[in-house]
Amino acid sequence: MPADKPLYYLSIHEAQQLIQSRQLSPVELTRSVLERIAAVDGKLHAYINLMADSAMEEARVAEAEIVGGNWRGPMHGIPVAVKDQLDVEGAAARIRQFTKGVGDATAVRRLREAGAIMLGKLHMSSLPDADLPVPRNPWNTEHITGGSSTGSGAAVAGGLCLGSLGEDTAGSIRNPSAFCGLAGLKATYGRVSRYGLAPLSWSLDHCGPMARVVEDTAHMLQAIAGHDPQDPTSSTAPVADYASALREDVKGMVVGVPRDYINECAPRTESIVLKLMDKAIDELKSLGARVEEVKVRTLHLATISNAVIYYNEFWAAHKSDAAWVLKNGAAQRRARIYLGILTNSADYIQAQRVRSRVRAEFAEVFRKVDCLALPCQTGPAPLLKDMGPIDTLFKHVVPEYHGPFNLVGLPTLSVPCGFSENNLPIALQLVGKPFDELTILRAGYTYQQHMRWFERKPPI
Amino acid sequence: MEKALEQCLTALLAREGLEPKEGDLEQFSKIIELYMSTLKTLHSVNLGAEELGPVFKPEWTGK
């Protein structure tokens, strides 16, 4: 057992080895995380529904199973928590308000079947409960975690769970992962079931893991990936062995850099982000990757296309509760309804046509490269006091680094690549071919092991 | 916000039996105007006769 590390800061990968070899009990691990929650969640505000009693009971069951020789796999006995947008039995997503939850969302059910311990539900942006405090960034509690998987960012980085399921429609896994120094994986659209995920935008929503290291996202994805007949967009493509990607080897890998697009986003990107991205790309090169500049000609229209589809589908998905939202809802939700209702059918169809064009251009680029590398944020996590209620929406309508990959459904991984001068995390984004999560996991893992940014822990 | 845009939004909301929250049109005028201007950019690209593609097809391999 790592002597210098509290149990709540073990990675899933470390904990599962200790649990499997019976050096660590799921009960002991869960108790340590619950004590951590009691000690610091008053400052971080990650949890909105803590299920401490049932978590301890699940941990006792897991312990008995493992002692009895029935170890289910890497997630067995691992304490996790989920973004509130996912339904959990007895705790439907709060943004549903006027519709029923489904019990456990498929991704939640699969985590349970893999033996994970459910600690509870985590805060997200734009909850109907306006009085809930906003989660704080464990690296500096004056700063935001990024959204909309706000609670997931705070909880994983702060040691309040070992991993979390987030949801990403325009960066909501990758942004808080980047701001909080985590590995965040948005797998290919269709790879993880959306059943039981309260919709923001059906064709853009992705459910995926947020964890402290790349290997943990691989273990979580293994548990939740695969066809689900209850999600009409779920893929029947075979599920890979994601742990097989966890080897340090990028020799010969061709990494594409969409330099023109990065330059287009540069006026809105802080120089430290660009500097650390270039350093990370140089590191990949020094490890044996070949780097090539690539151009995706219509990429500059991908962010606005993503926004058009997002807001129009949001309006359609939330039409039945729009009267309540416009009267009582959070500013971001009200604004999305206004923008959605202003979007006409020609706008929506044009965005879908651009979507096809951009997808075809990516397909062309991926004939020459194995993955893409670009920034994962425009700057370090902003100060909470500087954030207006709808600032995030401004990011969604001008070229940026997240929305394009929701639009085309490609898998992307956020990996820490350094820190700002005031000790806030910065991340690199790796993008893969459809259903080729293995390549970005391998590239991210190799880089991570070489740089070891994960060894730094937040001062909370 | 431009008067015509404000009237358009109010009419669209009214068609659905909705009305904006007091102060919202003023509070959100910047994002609404930015969004409407970027919609024009979206339509400025010449896609020729390209049709609407299906929503992302999971079986697409990019090859």
Tokens of A86: 């996912």
Which architecture characterizes domain A7-455 according to CATH?
Alpha-Beta Complex (3.90)
The size of chain B, in residues, is 63
Tokens of A242: 């994601």
- Structural contact between residues A193 and A434, judged by C-beta atoms closer than 8 angstroms: no
Comparing CA positions, the residue from A228, A225, A186 lying closest to residue A207 is: A186
> Are B39 and A408 an interchain contact pair (Cβ–Cβ within 8 Å)?
no
Tell me the β-bridge partners of A418.
A426
pLDDT at residue B62 tops 90: no
- Structural contact between residues A154 and A382, judged by C-beta atoms closer than 8 angstroms: no
> Are A304 and B39 an interchain contact pair (Cβ–Cβ within 8 Å)?
yes
A239 interfacial to chain B (CB closer than 8 Å): no
Comparing CA positions, the residue from A447, A170, A144 lying closest to residue A291 is: A447
> Are A350 and B42 an interchain contact pair (Cβ–Cβ within 8 Å)?
yes
* Partners of residue B7 in chain A, C-beta under 8 Å: none
Buried b (16+ CB within 10 A) or exposed e, A393-409: bebbbbbbbbbbbbbbb
Q: How far is CA A391 from CA A63, A397, A402, A414, in A?
A: 46, 11, 16, 22
**ipTM score of complex:** 0.91
- Structural contact between residues A294 and A372, judged by C-beta atoms closer than 8 angstroms: yes
A254 interfacial to chain B (CB closer than 8 Å): no
* Partners of residue B52 in chain A, C-beta under 8 Å: 349, 352-353, 356
Biggest distance spanned by C-alpha atoms of chain A: 61
**pLDDT-derived band at B57, boundaries 50, 70, 90:** low
pLDDT at residue B55 tops 80: no
pLDDT 10s digits, B16-42: 999 999 999 999 999 999 999 999 999
> With a CB-CB cutoff of 8 Å, which residues 336-395 of chain A face chain B?
338-339, 341-343, 346-347, 349-357, 359, 362-363, 366-367, 390, 393-394
Tokens of A418: 């350094």
> With a CB-CB cutoff of 8 Å, which residues 179-208 of chain A face chain B?
188-191, 203
- Structural contact between residues A86 and A165, judged by C-beta atoms closer than 8 angstroms: yes
Confidence at residue A1, expressed as pLDDT on a 0 to 100 scale = 66
Confidence at residue A325, expressed as pLDDT on a 0 to 100 scale = 94
Domain boundaries, given as residue ranges, for chain A: 7-455
* Partners of residue B45 in chain A, C-beta under 8 Å: 298, 301, 354, 357
pLDDT < 50 stretches in chain A: none
pLDDT 10s digits, A91-102: 999 999 888 999
- Structural contact between residues A300 and A399, judged by C-beta atoms closer than 8 angstroms: yes
* Partners of residue A305 in chain B, C-beta under 8 Å: 42
Confidence at residue B63, expressed as pLDDT on a 0 to 100 scale = 40
Nearest Cβ partner for A434 among B24, B30, B60: B60
The nearest alpha carbon in chain B to A203 belongs to B55
B24, B33, B38, B50: best mutation site toward chain A, by most A Cβ within 10 Å? B38
> Are A339 and B31 an interchain contact pair (Cβ–Cβ within 8 Å)?
yes
C-alpha A451/C-alpha A425 separation (Å) is: 14
> Are B52 and A203 an interchain contact pair (Cβ–Cβ within 8 Å)?
no
C-alpha A381/C-alpha A140 separation (Å) is: 9
Confidence at residue A98, expressed as pLDDT on a 0 to 100 scale = 85
B22 interfacial to chain A (CB closer than 8 Å): no
Q: Cβ neighbours of residue B22 under 8 Å, at least 6 residues apart?
A: none
Domain boundaries, given as residue ranges, for chain B: 3-42
Record the pTM: 0.96
